[in-house]
Amino acid sequence: MRPILMKGHERPLTFLKYNREGDLLFSCAKDHNPTVWYADNGERLGTYRGHNGAVWSCDISWDSSRLITGSADQTVKLWDVKKGEQLYTFNFDAPARSVNFSVGDKLAVITTDPFMEKTSAIHVKRIAEDIDEQTNESALVMRGPSGRINRAVWGLLNKNIISCGEDAIIRVWDPVTGQEIMSTKDHENGHNNAITSLCFSADKSHFLTGSLDKSAKLWDTRSLTLIKTYITGRPVNAVTMSPLLDHVVLGGGQDASTVTTSDHRAGKFEAKFFDKILEEEIGGVKGHFGPINALAFNPDGKSFASGGEDGYARLHHFDPDYFTIKI
């Protein structure tokens, strides 16, 4: 399985996202310029220039016409995917961390970091079809969790919003009233350190969270029941799930600030594959020279991408025998 190295970012990668068809891959990094690539050969299609801070996350609309990006420059931008033009800029009073389109792309949920005196917040914005009618107003703002909220995503059929972050608690919110519906606060098996990442299964019936407590956990979307736990022995920065096989992929390594020179053997920072049901490690993909910060599975299940602190995105197309692994 020879990886395709995609070198287009000057700084560490932060987020990767495929479009629904799986033919385009969008990457975000600390170098201000979200980039789009062809997902089959890793060829760079173009960059979206306009942010002047690290870009933390992105999402792509159902029809791949619009891209939304959240940045440390306190803005969230809507882009025309084909032309690379900015359509609209949402301004905030704090760095924007996580962005996610609702089903149907009529709404977006955006999280902002604690900043100066302000606590972190989850904002719901209406996304106008006609960009001339777009406004900066939030339909809803929810505050409550202490520390940074690393991810907030729409649940099943936009009926709720699921958030997680530095306080290690997963919360489910009502997107109309802004009330907290349920959380893992009293869950004795929950994470006990910051949750870094969250990824849904293809049908959104369950989701995976990765944490600095060196584990990833699989949860039932409706009830927040813990289904499985995967122990890795190092902090988890990114998680993803195969849409085809019962495989879970975890990426991580230490925080960049604690990496010593002896850690730079490429083997230390591998993407680890686990059997989703048996909770056992079944393999790993090496290659990054630094912690893995981003992972994404192609919707067709035949390839996956990883992005690292080393500034590279790596595209891995599976060999045919991957699909016949017997465990």
Residues of the chain with pLDDT under 50: 265-267
What is the DSSP code (8-state) at residue 151?
E
* Coil, helix or strand at residue 39: coil
Output the pLDDT for position 266: 43
Q: Any residues with CB less than 8 A from the CB of 154 and at least 6 apart, and which? A: 100, 101, 102, 103, 107, 109, 160, 161, 162, 175
From the CB of residue 41, how many other CB atoms can be counted at a distance below 10 Å? 10
HSE-up of residue 284 (Cα within 13 Å, Cβ side): 17
pLDDT tens figures, 184-198? 998 889 999 999 999
| Predicted structure pTM score | 0.94
Q: How far apart are CA 226 and CA 273, in angstroms?
A: 20
Question: What residues does each domain of the chain span?
Answer: 4-324
Output the pLDDT for position 2: 87
In one letter, which amino acid is 59?
A: D
Q: How far apart are CA 231 and CA 233, in angstroms?
A: 6
Output the pLDDT for position 262: 53
Q: Which CATH number fits domain 4-324: 2.130.10.10, 3.90.79.10, 2.60.40.10, 3.40.190.10?
A: 2.130.10.10
Q: Any residues with CB less than 8 A from the CB of 61 and at least 6 apart, and which? A: 67, 68, 81, 101, 105
Output the pLDDT for position 255: 58
Output the pLDDT for position 325: 78
Cβ atoms 14, 57 nearer than 8 A: yes
Sign of CA dihedral 110, 121, 32, 263: negative
Residue 172 phi, psi dihedral angles, 5° rounding: -115, 125
